[in-house]
Chains A and B, each alone.
Chain A
Amino acid sequence: MTQARAERAAGSGLVLAGRPAAREHLRVVGVEQIGAYTLLRLERGELEPGVPGQFFMLEAPGRVLPRPMSLCQAPPGELAFLIDPIGPGTRALCALEPGAAIHVLGPLGNGFDLGVERPLLVAGGIGVAPMPYLSETLGGPPALLGFRSDRHAEAARLLPSAEVVVEPRLVTELLPEDPGGVLACGPTPMLEAVAALAPQAQLAWEAPMACGYGACYGCVVEIDGRYRRLCVDGPILSGCAGKD
């Protein structure tokens, strides 16, 4: 089936980069402070939660561009996103109150490959965001989390069984010699350190993104010497994909 025919078959949704997605105006049902972060809970509407590691574009009130956020939790009837208020867009999202509504597009991107043996979740900082949904989907595999402060580390309660370190200790210090199938999310230096220790690791990358569906060419990363759109070919890339 061509993409065009798949699109018509999908009814009111859209097929973006070969994957089904939809855009809806969703009501905020809860806003919870979790240490330094905010858990933004939205009604789910007709949106699918997708595969862990996929992301959604969230309308940031008062801003020109939406913000890409990976799904943190998918309780029945809800989609929940863990947000670090680091700029005007994320601050606007964290300032939302129950009853407000924002446009949400997704799910987008490729998501983690869940068919790995002996999965091990590894996250640093706000990279913990996709881990609760990933952990639930995989049946609660072991997880390692690293944070820069005790306040940030409060987010570890979203993943109660995880082993947690706070700087100056680094999460990569916890990686066993034979780590199994690593699925990781976090800041670039952490991902590069994980890739060096576990070349087959699946790494969730971040990049500035205007659209999330391949339109703007803004989010490119270098893979095997070519600029590829992270929203189309990622955000999950193999540790040996040669980014940068």
Chain B
Amino acid sequence: MQRIPILNASGCLDALTAPGVAQQLDTFVTKTVTPLPREGNPPPRIAETEAGMLNSIGLQNPGIEAFVADHLPRLEELGVPVWVSVGGFSAQDYADVCARIDGCDTVAAVELNLSCPNVEEAPETAAELVAAARGVTGKPLYAKLSPASWDPAETARAVAAAGADGLSLVNTIRGLSLDPGTLRPTLARGPGGYSGPALGPIAAACIYACATAVELPVVGMGGVASGRDALTLLAAGASAIALGTILFSDPRAPGRIRRELASEAAALGYESPAAIFGQARQVAGRAEP
């Protein structure tokens, strides 16, 4: 492992409206696709907070059929590997979408969104949803988990046993902001997914716990806005980095963070950013998994 792949966090970039941003990435991850089209949640959908932002988009997407027919061919033109984020409201939904894209050569991997804080959740466990997807596709499956669990390592072990090939850590965590004048929720739907700088240490803890528990590659995300932030998640156990909220303010962030990561790693005496992988566990004296 030499180059640290930099991806976008699902739902934080539309490659078709910003192709030049997507082309700075090593892999583009789509906004979550569900079996049927979804209009998403009513506005207001976003709110800034002191140390991050809340969103409640609600999985707005064209549905899997329009995605395959209309979006996927245009994404292929970008020349960037594509992961498809898959969501749903039951194990059958996940299986249906995964089965539909299993034959699409453009799709390099599937990320299972098992943790959207803004829609009703499927009744099955994360492991059951992974198993349902595993049964219908041979594509690499990344399980995107919530940081809200008390014991994310337990979930990591369960999805690994169910056939996940990797973990995407972490999704947003539920938060609430109130209008300063009316004291009513700022977002139309009440709470939203909290992201940005405040999520960084939460992501690091989750990655640290999961990377110790399972031997799966981890795409680390949560509050990464600089090369130093990326380096922290690598040291915690991630082997790739995804950018979310920072893309909203800096569409040049992928290239900038890649450069910063290289110089930060060199300044610490590492021959490459890849050599930082898992350093936190060694420093803490914990055994490798």
Contact = CB atoms under 8 A, between A and B. Distances in A.
B17 A59 contact: no
A58 to B, nearest CB: 10
A14 to B, nearest CB: 5
Q: Is the interface of B mostly helix, strand, loop or mixed?
A: loop
A208 B49 CA distance: 13
Given A7-B23, A208-B46, A216 B249 contact: no
Interface string B16-32: 11111101000000010
Contacts of B171: none
Contacts of A217: 11, 14, 31, 40, 45, 57, 60
B40 A15 contact: no
A209 B48 CA distance: 10
A215 B196 CA distance: 15
Interface stretch (A31-39, A40-48, A73-81, A220-228): A220-228
Contact of B77 (A2, A59, A64, A66): A2
A15 B78 CA distance: 13
B108 interface: no
A17 B40 contact: no
A23 interface: yes
B232 interface: no
Interface in A1-39: 2-4, 7-8, 10, 14-18, 23
B69 to A, nearest CB: 18
Interface in B1-54: 11-14, 16-21, 23, 31, 39-40, 43-49, 51-53
A221 B40 CA distance: 11
B197 interface: yes
B39 A64 contact: no
Contacts of B57: 216-218
Interface string A98-117: 00000101000000000000
Nearest to A221: B43
Contacts of A214: 14, 17-18
A89 B249 CA distance: 13
A228 to B, nearest CB: 10
B7 to A, nearest CB: 14
Contacts of A207: 43-44
B47 A64 contact: no
A17 to B, nearest CB: 5
A16 B13 CA distance: 11
Nearest to B251: A14
A218 B276 CA distance: 35
A63 interface: yes
B143 to A, nearest CB: 23
A219 B18 CA distance: 16
A215 B12 contact: yes
Contacts of A197: none
B270 interface: no
Centre residue among B16, B46, B49, B197 by max chain A CB count within 10 A: B46
A4 B19 contact: yes
Interface string A112-138: 000000000000000000000000000
A51 interface: no
B245 interface: yes
Interface in A187-244: 207-211, 213-221, 226-227, 232
Contact of A232 (B17, B21, B40): B17
Given A210-B55, A217-B14, 16 more contacts: A3-B19, A4-B79, A8-B20, A14-B252, A16-B17, A16-B251, A64-B48, A64-B245, A64-B249, A88-B48, A210-B245, A215-B14, A217-B45, A217-B57, A220-B43, A227-B39
Interface of A: 2-4, 7-8, 10, 14-18, 23, 57, 59, 63-66, 88-89, 103, 105, 207-211, 213-221, 226-227, 232
A-B complex: 6 closest residue pairs judged by Cβ atoms? A218-B46, A214-B17, A7-B20, A211-B248, A210-B248, A4-B19
14 contacts: A15-B18, A18-B17, A65-B48, A89-B48, A207-B44, A208-B44, A208-B47, A209-B46, A215-B247, A217-B45, A218-B55, A219-B46, A220-B45, A227-B39
